[in-house]
Structure 1
Amino acid sequence: MLVAATPSLRSKVGAYVSLTKPQIIELLLVTTVPVQIVAARGIPSLWLIVTTVVGGTLAAGGAHAINMYVDRDIDALMARTRNRPLVTGVIEPRNALVFAIVLEVAAFALLWSTVNLLSAVLAVAACLFYVFVYTLWLKRTSTQNIVIGGAAGAVPVLIGWSSVTNSLDWAPVILFGVIFFWTPPHFWALAIKYKDDYAAADVPMMPVVADIRSTVRQMIAYTVVTWALTLLFAPVAGMGALYVVAATVLGAIFTYQAYRLLRDASYARAMRLFGWSITYVSLLFGAMALDQLVRSGF
């Protein structure tokens, strides 16, 4: 009788890291530090940046681990996710859940003790929203799952702002809207390629329940709203010309890329839009930080 090999310590650690979906966390944190710079009108203390980033990473990682715990049944049905550690059995479900809870507790404790209570509450609230509203409720029941559920991914901008000011204002709320409306075209571009996977798992992502052209028309609408909000952010937050030019050009390219998908509804074009959507956020928030650093004379 064949006996399954025991995973090495290295592979076990790697499996726990993969539970946190580090590639998604990286994208979330790209938005946090630039917002801290805007809120501080310069570079805040290195200690504040580090503790906020670490706390945010722990909170997002815990939320993603719970998501994998809940979705392990449908992950087994999709080619894109069938090698996740809870599907392969490298990690036991109970251990994954305990790991996730420990991350959330650690995130709250770290942010409360080193940043402020508001940031800690926002981080844990984002986790609860992601788990209970998106994962447990909307993902398997509604075509608007990623639209509404995407609000959890927009919370890091609020955390970045509150970590510096210990308050919220219209500027971070508008940035919340930027990420909220950016999420559907970003995620649906990926879902277009993997729509057969979602169909096999009976997950009603928009590209599964609607034809691609109808989905892309909605994506274009979301990119236009995103573009408009990035421009609205300029006067509300007192941004300079560098940011305004960047937001104008980047938004135009984002909208054009979505329009090209309407003309060429291929998987390759969808993945180009997906890749650009990540570049878009990175460049937009990078320009935001650079604008403030230049104006503050850094």
Structure 2
Amino acid sequence: MSVLNEIRQESPSRMHLWTQAISAYIEVTKPKILIMLTFTSLCAAIVAQRGVPSISVIIAMLLSASLSAGGSAAINMWYDRDIDVMMERTAKRPIPAGLITHPSVFRFGIFLGILSVVVAFVFVNPLTALLNAVGYVYYAVVYTMWLKRRTPQNIVIGGGAGAFPILIGWASVTDSLNITVWLMFLIIFLWTPPHSWALALYKNEEYTKAGIPMMPVVKGPRSTKIQSLFYMALLFICSLVLFVSGNFNYFYLAGAIIFNSFLLYCTWKMWKEDDHQFIWAKRTFICSLFYILGMFSTMVIGIF
């Protein structure tokens, strides 16, 4: 009886450890960001097909894109473990929290990256496999290891990493890239600075403590807000040019005007706000998340 009791007491403990480990590995892939990235990838595939692609293509494309994005995110957490522990926003991530070791995260990230390319090459097409590989290296190496700690333009140049799922989604259907998908790529690229800098403005102390040269840390809040308005204006123009490319109906045009006007308004209010206040910085950050959901949903509806 005593042996049975020990087993019963030990089993829940082992189960808890397994659950904790699985949750930790899921968390290093940055699942919230992953959802947004795969959403834009799916939208791009639908726009490219001008309808819903086959289920087999969708599954293989989303799987490969998720593996690529999740793997590069794991490498990001592995590399940034020394600064994550300094910031309140990231201190509870699996590595600084001691839930999993950094070598295991590194191996996990490499494995996911390789698997993403294999899945895309076997089940989709070579171009999609190549884009998965380039997107992985862009975020894991170019942004994380090269740009993030060296230049206040880290977010600007690194913004392309978040746009690669769009190319992946498009290529999975057409096995090619054209002007329309590059304009969709530019929307994410130009959206990234005002989105990320809004967060950086009200998290400025944490970035300063960690020694990350975000734009508010290096140039100050006033310059950051002016640059955010500049990129927001470019984003508005790019969204309208996408309509002129002839692939969307007037529903998309109406949506593009509404969503861009709203985000531009929030960015403008952020610019007018005193530099020691962050109410509109937080609102701009939140609004920018809804912007992506709204814009890409509008693109899908706008092809019919």
- Map of 2:133 onto structure 1: 124
Supply the distance in 2 between the matched residues of 1:153 and 1:227 (Cα, whole angstroms): 18
Supply the distance in 2 between the matched residues of 1:118 and 1:237 (Cα, whole angstroms): 25
Supply the distance in 2 between the matched residues of 1:57 and 1:131 (Cα, whole angstroms): 14
Give the number of the structure whose alpha-carbon radius of gyration is greater.
2
Q: Deviations over 1:242-278 (max 9, x none)?
A: 0011111111111111001011243221111111101
- Map of 1:278 onto structure 2: 289
1:88 match: secondary structure: coil
Q: Does 1:142 align with 2:168?
A: no
Q: Deviations over 1:156-205 (max 9, x none)?
A: 11111111100001111111111101001011111111111110010000
Supply the distance in 2 between the matched residues of 1:46 and 1:231 (Cα, whole angstroms): 31
- Map of 1:191 onto structure 2: 200
- Map of 1:51 onto structure 2: 60
Q: Give the alignment's TM-score, normalised by structure 2.
A: 0.92
Give the number of the structure with larger relative contact order, counting CA–CA contacts within 8 Å between residues 6 or more apart.
Answer: 1
1:20 match: secondary structure: coil
Q: Does 1:211 align with 2:209?
A: no
Supply the distance in 2 between the matched residues of 1:145 and 1:237 (Cα, whole angstroms): 33
Consecutive unaligned residues in structure 1, runs of 5 or more: none
Consecutive unaligned residues in structure 2, runs of 5 or more: 1-12
Supply the distance in 2 between the matched residues of 1:18 and 1:69 (Cα, whole angstroms): 12
- Map of 1:290 onto structure 2: 301
Q: Does 1:28 align with 2:11?
A: no
- Map of 1:102 onto structure 2: 111
Aligned pairs (5 A) from 1:179-258:
179-258=188-267
**How big is the shift at 1:127?**
1.1
**Aligned with residue 133 of structure 1, among 137, 142, 147:** 142
1:86 match: secondary structure: coil
Supply the distance in 2 between the matched residues of 1:104 and 1:174 (Cα, whole angstroms): 26
Q: Does 1:166 align with 2:175?
A: yes
Aligned pairs (5 A) from 1:34-45:
34-45=43-54
- Map of 1:19 onto structure 2: 28
**How big is the shift at 1:237?**
4.4
Supply the distance in 2 between the matched residues of 1:137 and 1:105 (Cα, whole angstroms): 21
Aligned residues: 289
- Map of 1:66 onto structure 2: 75
Supply the distance in 1 between the matched residues of 2:279 and 2:38 (Cα, whole angstroms): 27
Identity of aligned residues (%): 37
**How big is the shift at 1:27?**
1.2
- List, as ranges, runs of 4+ consecutive aligned residues in structure 1 with deviation greater than 6 Å: none
2:22 alignment partner AA: V
Supply the distance in 1 between the matched residues of 2:39 and 2:282 (Cα, whole angstroms): 21
1:155 match: secondary structure: helix
**How big is the shift at 1:228?**
0.7
Supply the distance in 2 between the matched residues of 1:141 and 1:103 (Cα, whole angstroms): 27
CA RMSD of aligned residues (A): 1.3
Supply the distance in 2 between the matched residues of 1:234 and 1:135 (Cα, whole angstroms): 33
Supply the distance in 2 between the matched residues of 1:222 and 1:216 (Cα, whole angstroms): 10
**How big is the shift at 1:63?**
0.2
1:270 alignment partner AA: A
Q: Deviations over 1:13-36 (max 9, x none)?
A: 100000000011111122111111
Q: Deviations over 1:91-135 (max 9, x none)?
A: 111111111111111111111111111111101111111122111
Supply the distance in 2 between the matched residues of 1:195 and 1:84 (Cα, whole angstroms): 19
Supply the distance in 2 between the matched residues of 1:236 and 1:213 (Cα, whole angstroms): 35
